Amino acid sequence: MSEPPPTAVGVQTPNSGHEVDLGTQAIKTMSHLGLAALFSMAMGLVIRLILPRAIGRDALGVLYFAESFSAMFFTVLPLGVTAYIVREIPLNHGKISRILPTLLPATALWGVCIWLIMLVALWFTGAELDALYCCAAMGVFNGCASLQRAILRRSYVAIGDSAQMARQEMAVRIALIFMIFGCLWLRTSVVVLATAYATSELLGVSFLVWRSKRLGYLSGRFDIVLLRQIVTQSLPFFAVGAMVEIYGNVNTTMLNFIAGNSEVAYFGAADRLKGMALLLVPVMQAGLQPALSKAWHQSKEQFTRLVKHAVRLLVVLSMPLTLGLMILPDMIADTIFGSEYRASYRAICYLAPVLSLTYLNVLLGSCLNIISDGRKFVVVTGFSLLLNIGLNLQLAPFCMKLWGEGGAAAGSALATVVAELFVVVAIQHIFPVAIDFSRVAKMILASAAPCLLAGIYFDVIQQIAVGWRIVVVGITPVYGIIVSKLADIKAHSD
């Protein structure tokens, strides 16, 4: 393993006598973005409480399909440039004025091309007009969201402007929920609802572009040489990002062709619950990556300590969420989506362990973005995508025959769990820095096994009073803290 690269302009080293408290910086950034994420989670919960009851299962299936189908195409929009941004801008804030004038127009042009290709591909599949119009609108939604998430917000967070980005994200969510309420009050179609999603993200992009112009970040010239350099360095991470996004949406798309809109709605309901619990993923990425980048340039030991603390924190925090989805899936499905979606409880059970797995994979992937060239990560991600597709083709029809309604969704969720477990094991083997993840892996496996059993034998769990189930979820954080402290004591004694 080669030594960390030389310290870039504007970075203070430990030897300079002014070592930056990177942990405090990361916590401050994540607190800002975490507040925005919690607000987005609350707004998303409101939307998910209303839409299933307001527009019906079939219309909701069309909306979920349009969102997932368009998201697969727009996975290639950021071109992997996030890795370049988090490597360069935290070390020299002045580079934002050179990077944005080149990346923004190039990405916007590429996004228009993707949007047209998506519509042509959908047209040739013989899709109905509602699905075509919804995909067109959700394509704009996913494209604008990707542009903000991967380039604009990430650049601002890299220079320490996380508070403003948190306020901007909350404003976009408020605009979206007002438009959705307006659509439902006017009893509009699902196409108009999809258009509301697109409009909210267009407003977000417009504000950030206006702000960048006002601050002079777009005053530079388009630099084709810089664009070529960015794209060349970002290609492995572009491939990883594209495959991760496809991986996240392939289940819904495959279910649409294997089992129809009802199973898409069941899996979509479970997947949206998982997505709400994973809202801290972008917070973690945006908050930790600048600190990790600086730590890597300061000392490998400081980088290793920061990664260890982050891994431990993520596992402890995700365990209550995992257990909650495992023990209360029927109650959650009934409360949020209504009794019509009760058949999604098995899919919710099986997606529960994915929370810990995904948080860990995202953290380690963020580290690889900074300290590796990404080639081995491409191989791991590509194999996990193929594994997920292959398992979907086998498990979705099999589980549908075994369990009937909701079975295909549960089979697709099982495929996701297996693929995520593979990624955890594989990343630990290719990680360039020696970090012992054995205790973390044991904790994750210990939570995955009960979730799988709960889905199979949920009839037994249903006999337990809801109050006792909630008590079990409530004591989990205490259990996690005790286990963590005992492990620390053992490590110090050794």
- Tens of pLDDT, residue by residue over 4-32, are 433 333 333 333 333 346 667 777 777 77
Of residues 138 and 241, the one with the higher pLDDT is 138
Please compute the mean of the pLDDT values over residues 241-257 and round it to a whole number. 77
Say what the pLDDT of residue 487 is. 53
Of residues 113 and 297, the one with the higher pLDDT is 113
Residue 4 inside a domain? The answer is no
Question: Does 163 have pLDDT greater than 50?
Answer: yes
Please compute the mean of the pLDDT values over residues 465-476 and round it to a whole number. 63
* Residue whose tokens read 């919690």: 38
Question: Does 166 have pLDDT greater than 50?
Answer: yes
Residue 489 inside a domain? The answer is no
Question: Does 365 have pLDDT greater than 60?
Answer: yes
In the chain, the percentage of residues whose pLDDT exceeds 90 is 12
Say what the pLDDT of residue 335 is. 76
How far are the Cα atoms of 236, 290, 440 from residue 360, in angstroms, in the given order? 20, 18, 9
Residue 12 inside a domain? The answer is no
Mean of pLDDT over the chain: 78
**Least trusted range by pLDDT, from 167-171, 457-461, 472-476:** 472-476
Residue 158 inside a domain? The answer is yes
In the chain, the percentage of residues whose pLDDT exceeds 70 is 79
Residue 3 inside a domain? The answer is no
Residue 11 inside a domain? The answer is no
Encoding tokens for residue 358? 């995904």
Please compute the mean of the pLDDT values over residues 183-197 and round it to a whole number. 85
**Least trusted range by pLDDT, from 143-157, 284-298, 438-452:** 438-452
Say what the pLDDT of residue 445 is. 65
Pinpoint the alpha helices (H) of 372-406: 375-403
Question: Does 194 have pLDDT greater than 80?
Answer: yes
Say what the pLDDT of residue 46 is. 82
Say what the pLDDT of residue 11 is. 36
Which residues, 6+ apart, have CB-to-CB distance to 83 below 8 Å? Answer: 233, 234, 237, 369, 370, 374
How far are the Cα atoms of 55, 86, 161, 441 from residue 158, in angstroms, in the given order? 40, 7, 7, 31
Q: How many domains does the chain have?
A: 1
Question: Does 144 have pLDDT greater than 80?
Answer: yes
Q: How far is C-alpha 448 from the chain's CA centre? A: 20
Q: What distance in Å separates the CA atoms of residue 214 and residue 221, rounded to the nearest whole number? A: 16
Domain residue limits at 419: 22-484
Q: pLDDT band for position 95 (50/70/90)?
A: confident
Please compute the mean of the pLDDT values over residues 375-392 and round it to a whole number. 87
Please compute the mean of the pLDDT values over residues 201-208 and round it to a whole number. 94
Model confidence pLDDT, tens digit, residues 270-305: 887 777 777 667 676 666 777 777 777 777 777 877
Say what the pLDDT of residue 12 is. 37
Say what the pLDDT of residue 139 is. 92
Residue 148 inside a domain? The answer is yes
Q: To 10 degrees, what angle do helices 407-430 and 261-277 make? A: 40
Helix H, strand E, coil C: the string for 199-243 is: HHHHHHHHHHHHHHHHCCCCCCCCCHHHHHHHHHHHHHHHHHHHH
Residue 246 inside a domain? The answer is yes
Question: Does 372 have pLDDT greater than 80?
Answer: no
